[in-house]
Every structure is written in structure tokens, then in C-alpha cells.
Structure 1
Amino acid sequence: MADQVANYTEDSIRSLDWKEHIRLRPGMYIGKLGDGSAQDDGIYVLVKEIIDNSIDEHMMGFGKTIDVKVSEHKVEVRDYGRGIPLGKVVDCVSKINTGGKYDSGAFQKSVGLNGVGTKAVNALSTYFKVQSYRDGKTKVAEFERGEIVNDAKETTTSARNGTQIVFRPDETIFKNYHFIPQYLDDLIWNYCFLNAGLTINFNGVKYHSEKGLYDLLSRKTDVDSLRYPIIHLKGDDIEIALSHTNQYGEEYYSFVNGQYTTQGGTHQAALREALVKTIREFYNKNFDATDVRASIVGAIAVRVQEPVFESQTKTKLGSQNVAPDGPTMRTFVNDFVKKALDDYLHKDSKTADALLKRILQSERERKEIAGIKKLANERAKKANLHNKKLRDCRIHLDDKKADEDLRNATTLFITEGDSASGSITKSRDVQTQAVFSLRGKPLNCYGQTKKVVYENEEFNLLQHALNIEDGLDGLRYDKIVIATDADVDGMHIRLLLLTYFLQFFPDLVRRGHVYILETPLFRVRNKKETIYCYSDEERRAAIAKLGNKPEITRFKGLGEISPDEFKGFIGPDMRLEPIILKKETSIKEILSFYMGKNTPDRQDFIIENLRIEKDLAEEVA
């Protein structure tokens, strides 16, 4: 150590060029890396950074169509805007602080502001091609990991003006990555909802919206379950859509300059405040704020000058003002909601009556469980002091002082039984991984009211461990991972837990926080190598690779896997299956099918999908 201190000279100072820095510290530019199992993983940020540039062209009035193709490991985006000026094609994708976004006259309210996005995609791709078509001429440049490999001369072309980008994310940085179609589908739809009239052709399918955020809420909700028709309000640089449902929790979709701010920010906070204030004044009643917002589903999109985000990935807005010399975000949103929503409710008495009924229902429900909630919370507070169910970690998602990468890595494993809990507890990372142990099978809470969350000790303790009683703002873990055996009992526990989350905390699932842990079914090994297999297909491939009759072990439960082995399955490369709610998924219908009475439909489904343990054993043999 003394030698190292003594040798600290000018030679110790190293200056990285742009691509080296991006590749060494990718999280600074695109947030977390991930393998594609989470909606905000890096590979989706790469896709978004490229499409954002095409969207900015569309917003400026150039190009009504964008073509996007995403295959297993390749992304192509072609727009029909003005095309990058041919003399700047190479600079625009390979020189930090070079771009058109600094000219605020050209891009007043654009998505990308700092000229970094495309360069990050270039540096983090094994192959990157940019081609600009402009006024009968075209220019191509190709790169590998940010290094230029082909700088072609300008040639003539008959193609329409615009820009094409093709890239392949680098597998050495995004390990075992895969694109989940539903996440890409949501991404493309959001662009269309925020740019009514734009058409995106995604993998040969046309995406188009005429009514903007009205269409977004129609797609994201079960329209039949809405308590009143969607209220759609539009103004200069602001658009809002909202309604109330019968589900628990609040649900918001917020956007700034076309960017989906998944973690909200000043605009979303202003909307929540403005709705309560306006509704209280309209009905001239001092409703509790939680009663007004209970079961609300809303969307807000604002366009601001020089937005300030809390990270490079722009998932949370930090701007206090809508423009450097303009009103505060709070005043801007509040003034708009106060006038537009008040006018709407005065004109539509049916909606006003339905809205009042929903608020009064929430008020009744809150008062009904107030007594039991108080008792349950006192019990939970005592239990938390010596909560044997929870082996907590040191860092939490809501710990603002902690490093962002560590906060994003926070995980709560929900396990069954002592043996599985013991294996995970011994092999986990105590900094960011916590374990919550279930005692047997949890209660089937299908069709129950929220009262059951407080009456059932296990559910109440889980709610407190997650810190979600009053919404997701204080959520303590980024990922909630159901880690049960892949047998009949384990599957049943998964269903019971998903019923609990979908029934009482649907936002947790909608925002992509709930996962299933995939653990290996087989271990195939010889004296030189061990391969863990997650499917029968992988098992066959491992046998073929190792040859000469390797030893095959079938894991029947998590408790059979030693802590040393388990370390690899819950490490940075762990396999997680996200729980995704699709457009056609009605929470009410799915819970009724799986957790309701044993209907003939469900009996047929079980028979059709039955797989007997004996069949698997024969395959292994």
C-alpha cells in the first residue's frame, strides 16, 4: 500500500476517450444493464434513444412514419425526417457534445437534450450503422464498439429523406439478453399515444393513435370496469386523461416531452395535488385526499423547455419550472386542472355524480377498516423489532443517499419453508438481497376486501416489509421475487401470492416489480464441467456437450440446492421471469379463472396442460 501511495504520479492519471468511458461506466449513460427481463433494462434504453431522435424530427414537423424492426439481437430504425446533414453523420454518432439539440430554436421541447444517447448506443454495440438520406444523396458509416470501420463516400440515391440506424447490442455487456415483445409493444404504443397522428410500423404491424392519452387509458384499463367514461383534457403543452375504477391503489402514467417518467416526478405530484384540490372545491367538501385518489387511473403528458431529470435515463422529472422563466410545474398543472376539470364536471352531471359515489365508497371502506388497521399496525410494529419472517438487507430502494445502482439491485425473495429460506439466506448478498419466509401456504384472498390484509398476520407483515400500505412511493425493494419450488405446491403458492398482489397492490405488478425466480431443474456434470439446466431442451444440449454418460441430478426443491450452488442462481446473472399484465388481461377475469370456483373451463385447462412427474422421470432416464 505504501508503494502504491509513493507511486502516485502524473503517469497514474488516465484519460479515457468517449467510447472507453461509456463502455467502462455504461450505467452513467443508460442506467442499469440487465438482461431484458425488466422494462427499464439497458437494451430497451438503447432502442428508445434511437427512436427518440426520430420522434424529435416528427415533432418538428418532418416525417409522419417511422419503421422499426427488432429481431432477436438486431434493431433497425428508419425515419423519414430531414436526415442528418451528410457532413456531420460520423460526428453525430461518435462525438460527445455534438448534435442538433443544443440549438434550442430547432428543438425547443425535445426528448434528448445532451447529445449523448446515440453515442452510447454506438459504443455499446458490436455493430452500429448510420445512414442518412438527404436531397438525393446518401452517406453511410459503420462502427464496431464505437470504432469506425467504414466511412463511405457520399453517393446518389432515390430514397426518401431521413435517417436509418442499425445496431446489435454487445453481448459481453448485456449478458444473456433477450427482448420481451410486450415491453417493446408498450414502448411503441406510448410513442403513438403521445404523438397522435404518428404511425410506427413495428415488425410489420401498424401502430397509430388519434385520441392520444384517451387511447392510452382505454388500452391500459378494462373499460367496462371504469366508474365513469374517461375524462380527456387538452391544453397548451399539457394533456390529461383520468377515471376511477374498482381496483385498489392509484395508477398513473406520466410523460415529459414524450419521455415515459416511470418514477413520476414534479408533474405527477402536481397532478395528484391538483385533483384533490379541484374536486374538494367542486363539491365544496373537505374530502380526505386518500379517498379522492383511491382507485384512480390517470395519465399526464407535459412539454417543457430544458427539463431537468434526476438521471440520464430520464425516469423521474426534477424540474420545478416549465421553462427557465416560466411558472412552476405545480402552478402550471394546478391552474390547468382547476379550470379544465371544473368546467368538465359542471357540463357533465352524470360523470360528476359517479365520481362523487366512488369517493364516498372509498370513504366508507376506509372508515370500516380503521379500527382493525390500527391494531394490525401496532402488531406489525412490535413484530418488526424481532421479525423472524424477514431477513433484511442493508440498502433499500427508498434510501435516497445510497448509490442508484445498488438501490436498483434491491431484491426481496419470498420463499416457502425453512430449507429454501436457509439456502437463499446463506448465499444472498446482504447489501441488497432480503428474504421473507412464508409459513405454509398463504390465504386465498380472492374476492376478499382489504380488511383481510390487516387481519392476516402474514399478509400484514409482508405489506410492512415492502412498505406499500400508502402507495409505492416508499417501496423498499425494486424486485419482489417469488422463489418457490417448481412442483404443484410451489405453483399453488405462486398463484396465492399473485392473487394477493393483483387484488390489493396491482400497481406493483403493473410497474414491473414482481418476478418469478427460475431455478435449475437439472444439474449435468462430469469431472471437468458442471452445467445447470432450466429446461428439458437445455438438459439434452448439456448431455450432448459433455457426452460419455454424465451424472444427471434432478432438483425437486430449492432446499436440495446447496448454498454454494445457490449463490450463482441469485447472483447478477439470475434468471427472472417478469409478471406482465397484457392489454387483454383483465385482473378480475384472470383471478376469477384461477382462484374462483372450480369451473368446467378451469378443469378443461388443467387436464389439457397436465404433465405428470412420471413422464419427466422417464425423459431423464
Structure 2
Amino acid sequence: MSEELNNNYSTDSIESLGILGGVRAKPASIGLENNDHTFVEILANSIDEYREGYGNKIIITKHEDKSVSVQDFGRSVPMDINSKGEYAYKKVFDELWSGGKYSNNNGDGNYLFSLGTNGCGSTGTNYTSDFFEATAIAPNGYKYYIKYEKGLQQTELLKEKHELNYTGTIIRWLPSKEVFRGLSEINDTFIHSKLKEQSIVNKGLKFVFINELKNETTEYYYENGVIDYITELNEDKNFTDIIQWESESKGRDNADTDEYRLKTELTFCFNNEVNHMQYFHNSSWLANGGTPEEFIKNSFTSSIDKLLKDKYTKGEKKVTFNDIRDSLIVISSTYSTISLYSDQTKKAIDSKFMKDSVTEWLKNQLEIYFIENPVEADKIATQILINKRSREKAEKTRLDVKKKLQGTVNNLTGRIDGFVNCRSKDVTRRQLTLVEGKSALGSTKQGRDAEIQAIYALRGKILNCLKADYDKIFKNDIIVDLLKLLGCGVEIKSKHNKDLNNFDINNLKWKEINIVVDSDIDGGHILTLLLTMFYRLTPTLIREGRINVIESPLYEIVHNDKSYFAHSDAEKDSIVKELGNNVVIQRSKGLGENTPEMMWETTMNPLTRKQYTITEDELQEKYFDLFLGDNLTDRKGYIEDHLHEYLEEALD
């Protein structure tokens, strides 16, 4: 062997970091994901005070040293000596798995439905911070203060009389870079998002965020909680009223577990354009869902399927939750007297009792709602059927497109009518030139650099892709053949056709795509339709500057056996004026009439052609909508306002 084995592993190799050292070395062992997560743990305790009816405001401050403080106006954290002669602050800030929320389920606890439950948050935050300070303004008229550095107590418990007219707790801390891989400052965006979330499910609780580093103050407050938030989301596009239902129950997940109390609040409405789903448990946002996601999915799918029973066509498949979700705004907020979280991060919960009981309750509620509100029920049924049939149509289109676009350029040369490949296989050099009609194919083919320039002759004008639906677009052979040649797939914006998205610019078979058109009205029309197609199906190619426009000259002016080319009447007149007498002017009859030599000199030669690079800035959405969309009123207005400019140019 190249290296000797290490035989020094023995009883002396076993070490102990201790509890403090272990938490600082591996904060994830107690559920602390990162430095931002410490903010959630401290904020949760203040929110629990509000939920018990103490205080209606929480002030969060980011200080100039980048530490954060959270101040509430609750009963204050107990700090003094208890009946056993123990300091309470040591259990809260310096002892894992201790706290005041373990007796919630038997009715003896101080917090019935608490966000913090495991007794790790405050201690874990203390242990993983460079410094940690706790101030308690107690109802007994005393103010308490304690300070830690890297989890070690620095002061005795300071206690003094106060004459303040409020009570509460202030926690200030700075996460340690040593613990969190060089990160100490809690992210502003994270703070804003958490305060927004908590203001939604804690109606009437005001959060004030003071950022001393940016000299700004932000408030989060929803007087009616979830209802106000959904009103904000709706953007006045909801077609049903906002409904909120509440229930309470008791049960157990299996015979070997304790019975616990469960509260459920479910708020929803249906919207034509906006959809949103969010779940909270004991005020914690369930980013990974779990049980609430299941009972919402099962209840709404089953109930709406019954609603649609007489509306399905013969043989039609049943509705899926995806069809419902497209038009549903729903927020669930559940509460339990025992912890149902999967872990300390509180991002998901799992409960058989909750799933079964809430699903049954919610199905009954929906059935009654549909019976008592037939007008809204019919609106919901109609919209969900539209979603369903649009999804099914989109899926059929996706499969058809996938089938049609299978293959590569190399094995398609004999199968795409009007396509002539180039010799090079080097994608960094290959160019695809688009011309109109097979009449242009001969001269273009002969007047090109056959090594790197491929030609595709379009067979007539293509669709206006801005107005056509995707099903019609992908039935157009010209467009499908062109997409095969590109090889990069398509980009779809429509929510019902998003599964068609398979665009990858790295699969593009060409360095650039050149659109060659005549410098006349017909050429302009063809160019507009092609650019519209790229804008609708592959906008990234435009944005990345991979689309070029090349104008074939409108006139050839011969003087003393030398040819000059003009792309407009104005350019022609300027050349004639400069050359003087003895000129012969020939108007181009189209690309097909050009000689190979003329094609190379004026169109195919990169050094002499008149070329434009099309970028997204030059193709703004409003102009596509104005000129090619359904905006007839504005289009007429534009013509009325600008027609004189085009007439004056023509007369000149």
C-alpha cells in the first residue's frame, strides 16, 4: 500500500464537545438551519404571547452593528428564582428542552396553541450567537437583564425597579459567523417575508420593522387577517365571495397517542386569473405542506367532481385538482395542542386525525355551500371545466408537438421541403437563412457560402402567431418544420400550456438565424409575421441577438458597367443624383430574379449586406399587441395619428 494505516485510534480518540460546543459545531442537530432561522425562533415566542391575549404589537429592530432585537408587550419572560430556588432565565436561555409550553395538551399550560413548542429556540439562538441579551419588563414592577457571549453568561442577573406603563420582553442577538459559515447578519428580505406571513395569520397584530442601517421603518398589519390578505391577492378579479369557515375537534392519530385539540380555519375564493395556496400551523408557514395540502386537495377535488356530475360530456375524464387549483385562492390555518411538526424547522406537519377529520368536515361544508349558493356554484363549475378542457387540449398539443419535433437537423435534410443544409457541423459557425418561396431558393443556394450557410425556403406566408392559439400554430407545417430546424424547443407563457415549455438555447443548431426579405411591402409583411412567430415561441433568441434581418435591394443602378444597389426610393434617388447621367435603373422583381453573383454581393456576403440585429428592446410587447393583436381600437387610433407621416414619405 502507498500509505501506512493509522493505528492510533483508541480510547483516547473519543472526545466530547459538550452541549454548548455540540450546538455551536452542529446547530442543525437542534433544528437550526441557518442564521436567519434564529429570527424565527425568537419571533415565535413573542407571537405566542399575543395569541394568549397579551400585547398587540411587536417591534423588530436591526441595529447599526447588524444585531437584531425583538420587543413584545406580553407578560415578560420569567427571570427570577422559582419555588425550587432555580433561576427561571437559566431554563429559558441556557438549557435545552425546557420551557413553559409542555403542558398545553392537558389544559394546564400557559400556551394552548403555541408556535414554539420544543424548548430549543431561545437556548439554541443564545448558544449560536456572538452575543445574546434578554431584558424582561415584568408585571411585578421589576426590570431584569442578562447577557451572554457565545453561549456563556457574562453578567449576573441584573434586577431593578421600573415605573414603565407596559410589560414585555426584549431579546437582542447577533448570530455567530463561527457557527453559520461566515454569516451573521440576518437577511432583510427574510425578515420582511416572515413578518408579512405572520401578519396574515395573526389578525390585529402589528409588526414594526425598524432598520437603522437603512434608516427606514416598515409596518405589517392586517386587521382582518387572512380575509384582508386574500382581498389584496384578488386584484378585484375574484368571481366568488371570500368564504371563511372554522371548526374545532378532538382526536388522536392512533390508539397509542394522546388525544389533542384541533382548530381549523379555512379561507378561500375563486378567481379568474390569480391562484394561490398557502398553509399555516400554529402560525408557522408550512413551506413543505404536508397534511393541509392533502385535505384541501382531497376535499375540493371530490366535492367539485360531484358538482360537475351532470356537466361532463359522455366519456369525459373526471376533474383533477390541477384544474381546480388554477382558479383557487385558499389559505388554511390549523392549530393543535400538541406539536405535529415533522421537525424543528416547522415546514411540514403530518397527522392522520387532522387529514381524516378535516377532509370529512370540508367536504360537507363545500356540499352545503354549493347547494345554498347555486349561482356561485355554477360559476365555479363553468370555470373549472374551462380549466380542465384547456389543460387536456394543451396536453394533447404538447404530445403532438413533442412527436412532431423529434429528431435533429442532420437526419431531417431529406424530409423538410425547401431546406438545403450547409456542410459545416460546427454550431459556432453555422447560419440558417430564411427566404420566401422556392423561387428564391435557386439564386440563394448558388449565391451563398455553402460551408456555413444553410437555406430554408418558406412555402408562403405563415400564421399570425400572436392571434392564433397554440393548437392551430402547431398544426402549421411550415412553423413545425422551422422549429425542427432550430432544434431549441419552444417557450410558452400560457398557464394552460406551460407543459409545452422545453426551450434550451444550448440546443440551438445555429450561431444565428438570418431573415432575408425584399425591401417592399410584401417583404415587410413576411418579416413581421416571422418576427411575431419568434416573439411568441422563442423570445430568448430575440433577446440574445440571434435573429438578424437582411434586406435585399429594391433597385440595381448601373453606371459605366458598375452596379450600385438601393433599398428604397430615397436611397435610389440619392445614388442617381450622385452618379449623374448615363444610368440604367432596374427594379428588383424579387429574390428569385437575382443572379447568384448579386445575391452574394448584396445579401449573403456578411461584409456587404444590409443587416439589422433584432433585440428585445426593439420588439416591445405593446407594439406587437398594437399591430398584430386584438387591440383594434388602439390600432385605428395609431393609423389616424400617423398615416400622414407615411403619405408624406411616399410623396417625397
TM-score normalized with structure 2 length = 0.55
- Matching residue of 1:142: 147
Query: Residue 331 of structure 2 aligns with which residue?
Result: 299
3-state DSSP of counterpart to 2:39: helix
Tell me by how many angstroms 1:330 deviates: 1.5
Instruction: Write the distance in 2 (CA, Å) between the matches of 1:265 and 1:594.
Output: 43
Query: Which residue in 2 is equivalent to 1:89?
Result: 89
User: Is the contact made by 2:32 and 2:124 (CA closer than 8 Å) also made in structure 1?
Assistant: no
User: SS state of the match for residue 202, structure 1?
Assistant: strand
Is the Cα–Cα contact under 8 Å of residues 444 and 496 in structure 1 kept in the other structure?
no
Q: How does 1:155-166 map to 2 (within 5 A)?
A: 155-159=160-164, 160-166=166-172
Cα distance per residue 1:315-336 (max 9 Å; x no partner): 111233xxxxxxx112221133
Cα deviations across residues 512-540 of structure 1 (Å, max 9, x unaligned)? xxxxxxxxxxxxxxxxxxxxxxxxxxxxx
Matched, 1:56 2:57: no
Cα drift, residue 292 of structure 1: 2.7
1:258 is matched with 283
Alignment match of 1:244 (pick from 264, 270, 274): 270
**1:193, 1:355 → 2: CA distance?**
26
Structure 1 letter corresponding to 2:324: V
Q: Distance in 2 between matches of 1:202 and 1:64?
A: 14
Contact kept in structure 2, 1:94 and 1:122, CA below 8 Å: yes
For 1:456 and 1:3, the matched residues in 2 are separated by 52
Q: In structure 2, list runs of 5 or more residues that go unmatched.
A: 81-87, 211-216, 249-262, 311-317, 409-426, 429-485, 509-538, 545-616, 627-652
**Code of the aligned partner of 1:59:** R
In the alignment, the residues of structure 1 paired with residue 282 and residue 495 of structure 2 have an alpha-carbon distance, to the nearest angstrom, of: 39
Aligned with residue 336 of structure 1, among 349, 361, 364: 361
Q: 1:312 aligns with which of 344, 362, 369?
A: 344
Distance 1:461 1:307 in 2: 50
Q: Which of these residues, 173, 193, 202, is aligned with residue 195 of structure 1? A: 202
Distance across 1 between alignment mates of 2:399 and 2:506: 12
Aligned AA (2:24): R
Match of 2:238 among 215, 226, 235: 226
Q: Which amino acid aligns with 2:334?
A: V
Q: Distance in 2 between matches of 1:289 and 1:183?
A: 31
Q: CA deviation at 1:187?
A: 1.3
Retained in 2: the 8 A contact 1:98–1:115?
yes
| Correspondence 1:171 to 2:177 | yes
- Residues in 1 aligned to 2:397 and 2:624: alpha-carbon distance in whole angstroms: 32
Match of 1:112 among 89, 112, 116: 116
CA change 1:381–1:242 in 2 (3 A) is: farther
1:8 equivalent in structure 2: 10
| Cα distance in 1 between the residues matched to 2:355 and 2:490 | 43
**Whole-Å separation in 2 of the counterparts to 1:271 and 1:496:** 41
The residue aligned with 2:448 is none
CA, structure 1 residues 339+89, in 2 after alignment: closer, same or farther (shift >3 Å)? Answer: same
Q: 1:217 aligns with which of 230, 233, 237?
A: 230
Asked if the contact 1:276–1:289 (Cα under 8 Å) also holds between the matched residues in 2, the reply is yes
Aligned residues: 405
C-alpha change, 1:193 and 1:460, in structure 2 (3 Å) is farther
Q: Which residue of 1 aligns with 2:632?
A: none
Q: Structure 1 residues 12, 75: closer, same or farther in 2, change over 3 A?
A: same
Change (3 A) 1:176 1:51: closer
Equivalence for 1:101: 101
- Taking the aligned partners of 2:389 and 2:74, their CA distance within structure 1 comes to 55
Give the secondary structure class of the aligned counterpart of 1:190: helix
Relative distance call for 1:178 and 1:64 in structure 2 (3 A) is same
Offset of residue 299 of structure 1: 0.8
Describe the shift of the 1:451–1:97 C-alpha distance in structure 2 as closer, same or farther (beyond 3 A): closer
Greater RCO, 1 or 2 (C-alpha within 8 Å, sep 6+): 1
Q: What is the Cα deviation at residue 98 of structure 1?
A: 1.9
Paired position in structure 1 for 2:193: 186
Runs of at least 5 residues in structure 1 that lack an aligned partner in the other structure: 34-41, 321-327, 384-416, 419-438, 463-491, 498-590, 601-621
Aligned to 1:351: 376
- My pick for the range that moved more, 61-70 or 93-102, is 61-70
- Aligned-pair identity in percent equals 21
Taking a change above 3 Å as real, the CA distance of residues 451 and 268 of structure 1, as seen in their structure-2 partners, is: closer
1:268-307 mapped onto 2 (5 Å cutoff): 268-284=293-309, 286-307=318-339
Q: Which residue of 2 aligns with 1:585?
A: none
**In structure 2, C-alpha distance between the alignment counterparts of 1:594 and 1:91, rounded to whole Å:** 62
Tell me, yes or no, if the aligned pair for 1:380 and 1:460 is still in contact at 8 Å.
no
C-alpha separation between the residues in 1 aligned to 2:184 and 2:172? 18
> Over residues 120-170 of structure 1, what are the superposed CA-to-partner deviations in whole Å (9 max), with x where a residue is unaligned?
211221121011121101221111111111223321112322211011122
SS for the counterpart of 1:154 is strand
CA contact (8 A) 1:89 1:139 kept: no
1:19 and 1:461 map into 2 onto residues whose CA distance is 53
**1:441 and 1:344, CA in 2 relative to 1: closer, same or farther beyond 3 A?**
same
CA distance in 1 between counterparts of 2:174 and 2:541 reads 36
- Alpha-carbon distance, 1:210 to partner: 2.7
Correspondence for 2:29: 28
RMSD: 3.7
Q: Does the CA contact (< 8 Å) of 1:69 and 1:75 recur in 2?
A: yes
Matches of 2:406 and 2:75, distance apart in 1:
61
Provide the rounded CA distance (Å) in 2 between the counterparts of 1:362 and 1:217. 21
- Compute the displacement of 1:273 (Å): 0.8
In 2 relative to 1, CA 451–200 (structure 1 residues): closer, same or farther, beyond 3 Å? Answer: closer
Distance 2:63 2:405 in 1: 49
Structure 1 length-normalised TM: 0.58
Q: Please list the CA deviations of residues 540-588 of structure 1 after superposition, one character each: whole Å capped at 9, or x if unmatched.
A: xxxxxxxxxxxxxxxxxxxxxxxxxxxxxxxxxxxxxxxxxxxxxxxxx
Within 1, Cα distance between the matches of 2:349 and 2:404?
Answer: 37
2:40 is equivalent to residue 74 of structure 1: no
Structure number with bigger Rg: 2
